[in-house]
Amino acid sequence: MIKTVQVTLPVLKRAIRTMTSQPPTTRSSRSSLTIGLALAFSLVAAFATGSPAQAHRIGKHYSQHKYMLDAYSYKRLQRAQKLMGQKRYVEARGILKSLLSYDRYDTYPRALCLEMIANTYIFEGNYRAAVPYVTKAVKTNGLPPRQQRNLLYNAAITYSNIHEPIQAITYLRQYMAQRGSRPPSGSQVVFLAQTYYQANQPRKARQYAREAINLKKQKGLKPPEVAYEIILNTYVKEKNFSASAKTLQAMLRHWPQQASFWSALANTQLELHQNTQALQTLQKAYALGQLTSQSDIENLIKLDVLFGNPTQAAIMLQQMMDSHKLPKNSSNLQLLVSAWSRAHNQPKMEQAIAEAAPSAPNGSLYLYEADLCYRQANWSCVARSTRDAIRKGGLAQAGQAYLLEGTALIKMRQYIQAVPLFHQALRYPDAAKQAQQWIKYLNYKASLEAARYGKHPAPSKPQPQKSQVPA
């Protein structure tokens, strides 16, 4: 059986970063401690763009009194941000949680604190711990409009990373509604596709994945690989192998150096019973140096044996085993026997059998060798090979082995030695009838010999099946 390989979709984890690395300059007046800090601490999507200068220019459009901090809160938040920059997240959380303890804290500083606490957990990779804080920050609705939108997007990313795509989609829809007519960026579209894939909504996932691909193509850029992988995996889950094959062919046009794509395409073609196409795919991959795994190389050889050039397959297999690129184990040695057999190269096949049979799990190869020797009327080889097969054991039709060895002995006129073999064959239902015929024949031969010396009258000749009586 040729092994199958399936592409799995890598988990898409988008990094979340702050929009600015430094807080704005502190001024002495309370009225100046306004929106700048919100922009410094607010999470933005990994795909958002902007600079501190841009942030301040945007901030001037907001009402100054709505987004203000007192000097004490500003300093504490600034200290927390510094600790976060030093990766001292536990200390930063302590400061932020102490600020949250004020009963009369306004929505703006409360939203900032909640968002920053969520940040500390996210930067530690603990998305689940971040969830309650980012959720509360969204519900507080205390940030300026642009930062509130970014918060919604980051909430979606957080839920996606704890594998709760339905909740992530809820936040994504809110985010998209607040964006209005402005289209999302290509990376955001990819995230939408990935989230819908997580939510087991394949049509939506494919819709956004194709949109991400088209956005890149319109700019003359290579499309995002993950978008194609999302499309592929939705088709694989639906067992739509025809669409899967077309998707993989498109992927290989962009990424011909991806060995896993060649392997996946070949196995998809096998699912579609396109054996010749699968062989051609693996041959092309091998020529490009993209067939690296043992299982893929073995698949190429097996397909070549069955549907291509068995001589070429046998030579390749022998070279691979000699160079230790494939193990010289029982299954590969048996495959070599099959290859030479289909190539009708008798000497090479016998040589392969001699090498493969001792390590085989049962005596079937010895029995196969005996059958080949029978066709050549090499009776001593038949007797030796069947004897080895019986000794090795594990035969599906052991009775036939006894019949074959007995027949060989008869051909060599070793009648007495053949008798116990046919008696052994009597124990097997599939061989008992023929064994009984041979025993009758041997009894006839013995009686005939006795009559020749006057010991008994000449017996009547038995009438076994034609194929069972030696010439």
Residue 447 lies in a domain: yes
Q: Residue 245: how many CA atoms within 13 Å on its side-chain side?
A: 15
Give yes or no for residue 22 having a pLDDT over 60. no
Residue 468 lies in a domain: yes
Residue 250 lies in a domain: no
The pLDDT tens digits for 436-464 are: 888 888 887 777 666 666 555 545 555 55
Residue 365 lies in a domain: yes
Determine the pLDDT at residue 105. Answer: 67
The kind and range of the H/E element at 17 are: strand 17-18
Residue 220 lies in a domain: no
Alpha-carbon gap, residue 265 to 241, rounded angstroms: 10
Are 99 and 112 in contact, with CB atoms under 8 Å apart? Answer: no
Give yes or no for residue 44 having a pLDDT over 70. no
pTM: 0.66
Burial of 17 (0-12, 13-18, 19+ CB in 10 A): middle
Give yes or no for residue 11 having a pLDDT over 80. no
Residue 166 lies in a domain: no
Structure tokens at 31: 């009225």
- What does the mean pLDDT of the chain come to? 80
Classify the C-alpha dihedral 16-19-24-29 as positive or negative: negative
Determine the pLDDT at residue 103. Answer: 52
CATH of the domain at 387: 1.25.40
Structure tokens at 336: 């070599």
Structure tokens at 383: 């007797």
Q: Residue 392: how many CA atoms within 13 Å on its side-chain side?
A: 22
Structure tokens at 97: 């949680």
Alpha-carbon gap, residue 270 to 118, rounded angstroms: 48
Helices first, then strands: H and E counts in the chain: 23, 2
Q: How many domains does the chain have?
A: 1
Q: Name the residue range of residue 378's domain.
A: 361-471
Residue 444 lies in a domain: yes
Classify the C-alpha dihedral 207-209-213-219 as positive or negative: positive
The pLDDT tens digits for 408-445 are: 888 898 888 888 888 888 888 888 888 888 888 888 77
Pick from 79-83, 273-277, 460-464: least confident: 460-464
The pLDDT tens digits for 354-365 are: 888 887 888 888
Residue 419 lies in a domain: yes
